[in-house]
Amino acid sequence: MSLMLLEYALIFMVIAIIPCIYRIIKGPTIPDRVVALDAMTTVIVVMLGIYSFVKGSVFFMDVALVIAIITFIGTVTVAKYLDEGVVF
Amino acid sequence: MKRYIAYSALLGLVWCFVHGTISVNNFLLGAIIASLIIRPFRSMLNFDMEFHAGNALKKIPAQLTYLFVLIKEIIKANIIVAKIVLQPKINIKPGIIAVPIRTKTDLGITAIANTITLTPGTLTIDVSDDKSILYVHTIDATDPEGVARSIKDDLEKYVLEAFE
Amino acid sequence: MILETLSNVVLIIGLFFVFLAMLGLARLPDVYNRLHTTTKIGTLGAFGVMLSILLKVGFSPMGVKALTVALFILVTSPVAAHMISRAAHRHGVGLCKESVIDEYGRACSAACPEPEEE
């Protein structure tokens, strides 16, 4: 029963990505798109966590952690670029 | 020197969590690698400052109270924003207001800014140059004094006790 | 058994909150209001899902790593929101037309009035 619930959860998360893609394509300004990408990565991290439990493998959790770190650094970098015009 | 050892132990604990198994061997390995890694950043982390383990331990009850208040406020914030999102027609009056704060240290300002972002209807945008005013975007800006008062009474008291 | 039921309840609450965050991202009017939903509701949703995995597997390597991911998202999400909102305001993204007050813009233009004159 629990496994079935988790597989439906994966489908539900794929549906949750659709508003993000709408916002990435349509978003009037650059910060809108950055926020949408950040939110989409949250969904992907959640999906990787559930998939790791369904497959019984620890390594997808490592992938989730690395994606979370890289998204944080990417968001801060784009914010600094928009703010000051240079990154470093 | 004490501060150096404390940072190494903290990073060793982080290594244990990232590796997935919490054991003494793992912790020692992480602490040794961390002490090598933070050695080039000596000037940035000012290790020469005094570090009293007694002071750090004395603050733990206040920090647990702060954590409890934080969890309660996060759940309240989620219910408020979820109600706004689920309305059939969105009817909000947002705005950016200035909130004076009493906290002075960098750690305290970071803590209160992150706490404000995670609590109902408010989002920190910037801190002024003299570190005395936070600019806060709020989702219901019809009563700026009320928002500032609620931040001062509900949150800042616990942050001051836990991190000053 | 009771642990599994609790874990399933937390999982469903977390998934619902993540979906709600994405819905708010599509519905609300400007950048700052969208940041409200993705920072608060998205963070709690991801935290709930990871907590449910921790409840399902206990303190095995997978559970500890799930806890690490959840704590990392909880710590870094407000910092990212602060950076991107400040960058948006300085980049010139205005507030939506329902807004009633903007003290930050007033303070900025009082500090450096040159862009206002041109």
* CA–CA min distance A32, chain C (Å): 6
pLDDT in tens, B7-29: 888 899 999 988 888 889 989 99
How many residues belong to chain C? Answer: 118
Q: How far is CA B57 from CA B54, B63, B70, B108, B149, in A?
A: 5, 10, 20, 17, 31
Residue B38 in contact with residue B11, Cβ under 8 Å? yes
Residue B77 in contact with residue B120, Cβ under 8 Å? yes
Residues 43-72 of C with CB under 8 A from B: 43-44, 59-62, 64-65, 67-68
Which chain A residues are within 8 Å of C22, Cβ to Cβ? 16-20, 39, 43
Which chain B residues are within 8 Å of C44, Cβ to Cβ? 74-75, 78
Which chain B residues are within 8 Å of C95, Cβ to Cβ? 94-96
Q: Looking at residues A17-28, what average pLDDT do you find?
A: 88
Q: How far is CA B63 from CA A69, B69, B72, B110, C104, in A?
A: 26, 10, 14, 15, 31
Q: How far is CA C90 from CA A76, A83, C67, C102, in A?
A: 15, 6, 36, 13
> What is the predicted pLDDT for the residue at C117?
42
Report whether pLDDT(C118) > 50.
Answer: no
Report whether pLDDT(C19) > 50.
Answer: yes
Residues 11-70 of A with CB under 8 A from C: 12-13, 15-20, 22-23, 29-32, 34-36, 38-39, 42-43, 45-46, 49-50, 52-53, 58, 61-62, 64-65, 68-69
CB contact (8 A) between residue C78 and residue B118: yes
Domain count, chain A: 1
Which chain A residues are within 8 Å of C12, Cβ to Cβ? 5
- Tell me which residues of chain B have a C-beta less than 8 Å from any C-beta of chain C: 17-22, 74-75, 77-78, 81-82, 84-86, 90, 92-98, 113-114, 117-118, 121, 123-126, 128, 135, 137, 139, 141-142, 144
Q: Looking at residues C19-31, what average pLDDT do you find?
A: 86
pLDDT in tens, B26-55: 899 999 998 898 888 877 776 666 666 677
DSSP B23: -
pLDDT in tens, B132-149: 888 888 887 777 788 788
> What is the predicted pLDDT for the residue at B19?
87
pLDDT in tens, B101-116: 887 778 888 888 888 8
Report whether pLDDT(B58) > 90.
Answer: no
Q: How far apart are CA A73 and CA B147, in angstroms?
A: 32
Q: How far apart are CA B124 and CA B46, in angstroms?
A: 28
Binning pLDDT at 50, 70 and 90, where does residue B1 land?
A: confident
Binning pLDDT at 50, 70 and 90, where does residue A70 land?
A: very high
Report whether pLDDT(B64) > 80.
Answer: yes
Which residue segment(s) compose the domain that A80 sits in?
2-84
> What is the predicted pLDDT for the residue at A31?
87
Phi, psi of C101 (to 5 degrees): -150, 145
Separate counts of helices (H) and strands (E) for chain C: 6, 1
> What is the predicted pLDDT for the residue at C111?
67
Residue A82 region by backbone torsions, left for phi larger than 0, else alpha for psi between -120 and 50, else beta: alpha
SS3 at position A29: coil
Q: How far apart are CA C48 and CA C44, in angstroms?
A: 6
Domain count, chain C: 1
Q: How far apart are CA A32 and CA A1, in angstroms?
A: 39
Greatest alpha-carbon span in chain C: 69
Structure tokens at B110: 């970071």
DSSP B95: E
How many residues belong to chain B? Answer: 164
pLDDT in tens, A38-47: 889 989 999 9
> What is the predicted pLDDT for the residue at C116?
47
pLDDT in tens, C49-101: 999 989 988 888 888 999 999 999 988 988 898 888 888 888 877 777 766 77
Q: How far is CA B147 from CA A74, B81, B138, B139, C63, in A?
A: 32, 16, 8, 11, 39
Residue of A36 and C28 predicted with greater confidence:
A36
Which residue segment(s) compose the domain that C94 sits in?
2-117
Report whether pLDDT(C107) > 90.
Answer: no
